[in-house]
Amino acid sequence: MAEIKALVFDVFGTVVDWHGSVAREVRVLARQKGLRINAVKFARAWRGGYRPAMDRVRSGETAFAKIDVMHRAILEDVLAQFRVTALSEAEKFHLNRVWHRLKPWPDTVRGLKRLKSKFVISTLSNGNTGLLVNMAKNGGLPWDCVLSSDTFGHFKPDPEMYLGAADRLDVKPEELMMVASHKHDLRAAAKNGLKTAFIQRPHEYGRNNNPDLAPEAEFTYNASSFLDLAEQLGC
């Protein structure tokens, strides 16, 4: 087996708790403004618009755009859907930046520090660079490098993302491992020759849902947290 030299991480869901972070801020905002919003459903609806928006870029239907721009367009739709009309431009701008303030999972920072002691660690996210840099500063994420959709002008699962990451980090695809809580992302990485680590994130969509957490023999590693992955990798 080729030596693993670098790890690239999916971010939303794998590294940070987007659902809990967005729902929390929406709840606080609703209270401040005296609005009645189901914050859990609001967070899921916002996130739900994300993949269709990327797929429209991937199919060539719309031009490449930063996730910040997509998030804002989806937010407008979701606000209309939830009949929220009381937000100022400044409030909407601030709310849209909640994606820069997503909280790491409890094992994230300690796990990344251990993994960083042995490997190059980088994001490989559909988020934009500015968002990922701000998120890292807010959450104390110790990346060696920030690679994102705007680094390559593509979104995962386009091959340009996985192969581009190997090229930028000067490693062979088989020396690079994709770390993600989403099996489709790992399968696309594997198809491009990368190694794979599946991380179980049971609460990515909040409580009371039923995500697919089953380990798979097809993945190079299966782990319950970044600390478990660090342990398995001898960090």
Contact region with a copy of itself (CB under 8 A), list: 20-28, 73-81, 162-170, 224-232: 162-170
User: Is residue 211 a contact point for a copy of itself (CB under 8 A)?
Assistant: no
User: Is residue 77 a contact point for a copy of itself (CB under 8 A)?
Assistant: no
- Smallest separation, CB 156 to a copy of itself (Å): 18
Helix (DSSP H) and strand (DSSP E) numbers for the chain: 11, 8
Residue 104 near residue 15 (C-beta atoms within 8 A): yes
**DSSP characters over 186-235:** HHHHHHTT-EEEEE--TTTT-SS--------TTSSEEESSHHHHHHHTT-
Encoded amino acid at 156, one letter: K
Tokens linked to 140:
């104390």
Residues 6+ apart with CB under 8 A from 46: 22, 71, 74, 75, 78
Give Cα 189 distance to the centre of its chain. Answer: 15
Contact region with a copy of itself (CB under 8 A), list: 13-21, 142-150, 188-196, 221-229: 142-150
User: Is residue 40 a contact point for a copy of itself (CB under 8 A)?
Assistant: no
3-class DSSP state for residue 163?
Answer: helix
Alpha carbon distance 180, 158 (integer Å): 16
- Smallest separation, CB 5 to a copy of itself (Å): 10
- Smallest separation, CB 217 to a copy of itself (Å): 32
User: Is residue 8 a contact point for a copy of itself (CB under 8 A)?
Assistant: no
Nearer to a copy of itself (CB atom), residue 110 or residue 183: 110
User: Is residue 196 a contact point for a copy of itself (CB under 8 A)?
Assistant: no
Closest CA to 42 of 12, 100, 83, 10: 83
Nearer to a copy of itself (CB atom), residue 39 or residue 135: 135
Which of residues 129, 200, 220, 224 is near a copy of itself by CB under 8 A?
129
User: Is residue 151 a contact point for a copy of itself (CB under 8 A)?
Assistant: yes
Which of residues 96, 128, 149, 192 is near a copy of itself by CB under 8 A?
128
User: Is residue 136 a contact point for a copy of itself (CB under 8 A)?
Assistant: yes
Tokens linked to 200:
């179980």
User: Is residue 138 a contact point for a copy of itself (CB under 8 A)?
Assistant: no
Binding site for a copy of itself (CB under 8 A): 68, 120, 122, 128-131, 133-134, 136-137, 144-146, 150-151, 168-171
